[in-house]
Chain A
Amino acid sequence: MKNTNKSKLINFIIILAVILLLIFFNWWGWLTAPKSLVFWAARPVIGLFQAIDKRVSVPWDFFITLKDLSQENANLMSENKRLFGENSRFKETARENEILRQQLNLDQPAKQKLIMASVTGYSLTSGQYLLINKGRTDGVAVGLAVVAANNFLVGRVAEAADNFSKVLLVTDGNSSVNALTQDTRVNGAVKGNHGLGVTMEMIPIDAQININETVLSSGLNDGVPRGLVIGRVIGVDKKANEIWQSAVIAPAAEINNLEQVFILVNWKEF
């Protein structure tokens, strides 16, 4: 019995030493190759599971939303007409803006360089992360903004291995992005709320925010350019005896159903 306990203790100490050694290796970046190897080995299996999931979930989701389909269709039609008119106006404004820039000899705005990546998995065990199939060899670096289509902010790169990266989602409690409201130009910090939603905090109590107003990134964070769409204000929490108020934001990106994302690599403010 004593011998068994002694051997268990020795085993425990050896295992602990090995783990600490691995943590030390990771600290120095020596585990990049094993990480890439594991991702390379798991990638086909992950792909297979995703393909099966797609085959099952697409008909299932269709079946679930079937009863609301006609109403949703009507809503989308009216939204489409509104956006068509808005888009035509914006096109005219953009043209005017371009002509004015030429006349005033202003620099043309730099175009964003995007890297397209596929979402290979979600890790929700210790924080809200998603795994993407692009890494350092593709030009991905820690801190870069990750967006869905239409410049909807998804999160920021938290860790980049050679062939994959981990993206910290905006809904994570550790995520903080400086933001401003589009119409009222009120500044604040957008923080995740246990993965359940997003809250805009540090808003001065006397500031006026409108419901349904769009919230954009203010560009004060490194790696996150100005003007990325974070979400829309759906509620305001204002208490008379406090100096700050907060706003509940509905994220613009459908974070749980992402298949492709874009990493903003080369952007310049103008």
Chain B
Amino acid sequence: MICPVLRDASSSLAKINMRFFLLILGSILIVSLQLTWLPKLAVLTITPNLILAGVLAFAICQKEEKNFWWAMIPILLFDLLAGRPFGVFTLSACLMFFSLELLSNIFFKKNDLLALLLLAVVGVLFFEVYQFLLVEVFSIWRLIEPIKLSVFYFSVALPIKVFYNGLLSLLGLLIIRKSQLLFSHGQIFKIK
């Protein structure tokens, strides 16, 4: 006869494993989508980034506890497959997530649309700044050429990136909110 404690433990372990498997599967789907279909939506070679938008949405959603380790899986998968050099995307996304979470806790107590919009815009800007700084650091070891900040970057590339990723992150936020019931008792986050 199996002890009830052991049975409960094995049942919760199976649930976590199932969730982990689903997350890996979902991450592979998202990364594949990013590499195949999303480049077709490029405007002047600027493509929306599903993974970045997902992390952004996760960072700005109002939750008590968020487990960033779950967000790490798609980020790492994308970086392993397409990031160059490896680490720039992961580090930028991680720094952006924590900066944005800190910012939203300090300045944005209200959960209105304007605040969310501002957070999405600031999040993309944070990501770009971190990416720029990290590329500068990596270029010291000649792993990548430094980013050339041109008029094109500020007047065209950056606004398109902000628009595309900000819009996608708001869409992601909507999906997260709609799926509250699904995840409210899970490991990914707890609803306030």
Interface of A with B (CB < 8 Å)? Answer: 4, 8, 11-12, 15-16, 19, 22-23, 26, 31, 34-35, 38-39, 41-42, 45-46, 48-50, 53, 57, 120-129, 131, 158-159, 164, 166, 171, 173-174, 194-196, 256
Contacts of B72 in A (CB 8 A): 15
Contacts of A124 in B (CB 8 A): 39, 42, 45-47
Contacts of B28 in A (CB 8 A): 41-42, 45
Contact in complex: B82, A45 (CB < 8 Å) = no
Contacts of B40 in A (CB 8 A): 53, 57
Contact in complex: B82, A131 (CB < 8 Å) = yes
Contact mask for chain B residues 93-134; partner A; CB cutoff 8 A; 1 contact, 0 none: 010001001000000000000000000000000000001000
Contact in complex: A126, B87 (CB < 8 Å) = no
CA distance A129 to B45 in the complex (A): 11
Contact in complex: B45, A26 (CB < 8 Å) = no
Instruction: Give chain A nearest CB distance to B24 CB in angstroms.
Output: 8
Contact in complex: A19, B94 (CB < 8 Å) = yes
For the complex, would chain B's binding face be called helix, strand, loop or mixed by DSSP majority? helix
CA distance A45 to B65 in the complex (A): 32
Given A38-B77, A45-B28, A174-B144: A121 in contact with B36 (beta carbons within 8 A): yes
Given A174-B145, A194-B152: A131 in contact with B35 (beta carbons within 8 A): yes
Contacts of B131 in A (CB 8 A): 126
Interface of B with A (CB < 8 Å)? Answer: 28-29, 31-37, 39-40, 42, 44-47, 49, 52, 65, 68-69, 72, 76-77, 80-91, 94, 98, 101, 131, 135, 144-145, 148, 150, 152-153, 157
Contacts of B31 in A (CB 8 A): 42
Given A15-B68, A15-B94, A196-B44: A35 in contact with B81 (beta carbons within 8 A): yes
**Nearest B residue (CB) for A158:** B84
**Nearest A residue (CB) for B101:** A8
16 contacts between A and B (CB under 8 A): A22-B86, A22-B90, A31-B86, A35-B80, A35-B81, A39-B81, A42-B28, A42-B31, A42-B77, A120-B35, A121-B81, A124-B39, A124-B46, A125-B49, A127-B84, A171-B45
Quick one: which of A4, A15, A22 contacts B69, CB cutoff 8 A?
A: A15
Instruction: Give chain B nearest CB distance to A269 CB in angstroms.
Output: 27
Contacts of B148 in A (CB 8 A): 173
Quick one: which of A8, A122, A127, A159 contacts B39, CB cutoff 8 A?
A: A122
Contacts of A120 in B (CB 8 A): 35
Instruction: Give chain B nearest CB distance to A165 CB in angstroms.
Output: 11
Contacts of B90 in A (CB 8 A): 19, 22
CA distance A125 to B31 in the complex (A): 12
Quick one: which of B29, B83, B94, B101 contacts A45, CB cutoff 8 A?
A: B29
